Amino acid sequence: MKNRKNAIPWLYSLPAFLLIGIVIVFPIIYTAYISLTNMNLYHWNDFHLIGLGNYKRALLKADSGFLSAVGVTLVWTAVNMGVQMVVAYFIALGLNAEGLKLNRVYKTLLMFPWAMPAYVSILLWKVCMFNTEFGLLNKVVTALGGVKLNYLSENVPAFLACTVLNLWMALPFMIMMIDGALQSVDISLYESAMMEGAGFWQKTFHITLPCIRPIIAPSAIMTVFTTFKQFDIIYLLTKQKGSLTGATLQTIITYAHENAFVSNNYGLSSAVSILIFGIIILFSVFTNRGLREENS
C-alpha cells in the first residue's frame, strides 16, 4: 500500500519526465557522446571514439580562442548586468515617483523594445543607428560638424555598441520586475524612516533594496544566464557573414557557433558546448546556493 502511494507521484510525473528526457536530456547526452568522437567532415558516417582529445584541443591550445572568449563573456555579463540593474532601478523609481502623470503611458512605451523580435531590433539598430552612411548617430555627428565614425569597426566601441543595444532590449523586463517589486514595499517603512531623518540613500540601502531583493533575485539570475549566452546581438552586429565590421569580439557562444557551423568539426564543437554547459551548471549551482543561504 505504502509502495503504491510512493509510486503514484512518479506515475503522474512520468509523461513529463519522458518529454524532458527526449527533448532535453537525450540531446545533452548525445552531444557529450559526440564530443568524445572524431565526427567531422572527413568522418561523417564512420566516426569513432577518440577520448578527451577534443576537450584538450578546446582548453589547452593557446590559439584556440576559447579562453579569451570565456574572458570576454564574463566581462560582457558583468558589465551588462551591472548597468542593467542600476539603470532599471532608477527608471523604475522614476515611474513610481509620487505625482507622476501618464506613468502607464511611459511604462507601455518602455515595454516596446521587449515586444519587438530581437532579429528585427538588432538589424534596425545596425542600419538605422550605427550605419556609417544612413545611421542616426552619424547624421547627428555630421550635423554638428564632426566626421563620420564607424562604431563597429574596433573592439571597444563595438563592445559598447552591443552593450547599449542589449540594454535597450533587456531593460523592459528588468524595469517591469523592479517596478512590481517597488510597489510591494510597505510605505509605512519609508514614513518611519523619514520621521527618523533618513535620506534617499539610507532609504535605498536599508529599506528598498532589502525589501525588493527576494523578488528581483530570480529575475536577475534569469537575466544573467540570458546575457551570458547572448549570441544574436554580437553576431548580427559585428560578425554577420559577408559583412564583418572589423571588430573581433568573440563570446563563447559565437566561438562555439564558428566551430560548429563553419568548421563542420562536430566533435570539437560538441566539446566546446559541453564545456559551456558545465560552466552554466556551475554558475547555476553557486547562484542557487547563494540564494538559499540568503533566504535562510
Partner 1 sequence: MKKIVSSILCGCMAAGLAAGCGEAPGEQQRASLDEGAVSETEKGQESEGIHLKIWHDGDEAIMSTMEKDVNEMLEEEGIRVSFEKKTALTDQLKLYGTDEVNGPDMYFYAHDSLGMLAEMGILAPISDVSDTAALNGELNKMTLEAVEYKDTQYMVPVYFETLLFLYNKGLWEGEVPDSTDELYAYMEAHTDTDAGTYGVVNQHSTAYNVAPFINGFGGFIMDKEGNPGLNQAQTIEAVTYNQKFAALQADGDYNTVTTLFNEGKAAAIIGGPWLVSGIKDAGIDLGIKSLSDFTLPNGKALAPFSGVQGVGVLKQSAESKGDAVEKVLKALASEKVGVDLVVNNNCASANEKVYENSDVAANEMVLNIKKTADTARPMPNIPQMSVMWGPAEAFLAAVNKSNADISAAAEEFQQEAVTAISDIQ
Report the C-alpha gap between 229 and 66 in whole angstroms.
14
9 touches partner 1 by CB under 8 A: no
Instruction: Kindly tell me which of 169 and 272 has the beta carbon lying closer to partner 1.
Output: 272
Instruction: Kindly tell me which of 4 and 101 has the beta carbon lying closer to partner 1.
Output: 4
The residue within the footprint of partner 1, chosen from 31, 32, 55, 64 (CB under 8 A), is 64
**To 10 degrees, the CA torsion angle through 112, 160, 244, 252?**
-90
10 touches partner 1 by CB under 8 A: no
Determine the angle formed by the axes of helices 66-95 and 53-60, rounding to 10 degrees. Answer: 70
The residue within the footprint of partner 1, chosen from 3, 45, 188, 295 (CB under 8 A), is 45
3 touches partner 1 by CB under 8 A: no
Instruction: Kindly tell me which of 4 and 104 has the beta carbon lying closer to partner 1.
Output: 4
Question: Residue 260 CB, nearest distance to partner 1 (Å)?
Answer: 11
With CB under 8 A as the rule, give the number of residues binding partner 1: 43
CB count, 10 Å around CB of 143?
8
Question: Residue 113 CB, nearest distance to partner 1 (Å)?
Answer: 22
- Which residue intervals of the chain are DSSP H helices? 2-20, 26-35, 53-60, 66-95, 103-115, 118-124, 136-143, 155-183, 187-195, 200-203, 209-228, 232-234, 252-257, 266-295
241 touches partner 1 by CB under 8 A: yes
The residue within the footprint of partner 1, chosen from 108, 183, 184, 243 (CB under 8 A), is 243
Q: What is the DSSP letter of 198?
A: -
**Bridge partner residues of 167 (DSSP):** none
Report the C-alpha gap between 37 and 53 in whole angstroms.
9
Task: Tell me the three cell numbers of residue 137.
Answer: 548617430
Task: Tell me the three cell numbers of residue 31.
Answer: 552531444
Instruction: Kindly tell me which of 89 and 159 has the beta carbon lying closer to partner 1.
Output: 159
Phi, psi of 205 (to 5 degrees): -80, -25
Total residues found in the chain within this entry: 296
Tell me the longest C-alpha to C-alpha distance in the chain.
Answer: 85
Burial 69-79 (b: 16+ CB within 10 A, else e): bbebbeebbee
Instruction: Kindly tell me which of 223 and 265 has the beta carbon lying closer to partner 1.
Output: 265
**Segment interacting with partner 1, rule: CB under 8 A, options 25-33, 57-65, 101-109, 172-180:** 57-65
140 touches partner 1 by CB under 8 A: no
103 touches partner 1 by CB under 8 A: no
Site track for partner 1 across 150-179, x = CB under 8 A: x--xx-------------------------
Site track for partner 1 across 24-43, x = CB under 8 A: ----------------xxx-
Q: Which residues bind partner 1 (CB under 8 A)?
A: 11-12, 14-16, 18-19, 22, 40-42, 44-45, 57, 63-64, 127, 131-134, 142, 147-148, 150, 153-154, 241-248, 258-259, 261-265, 268
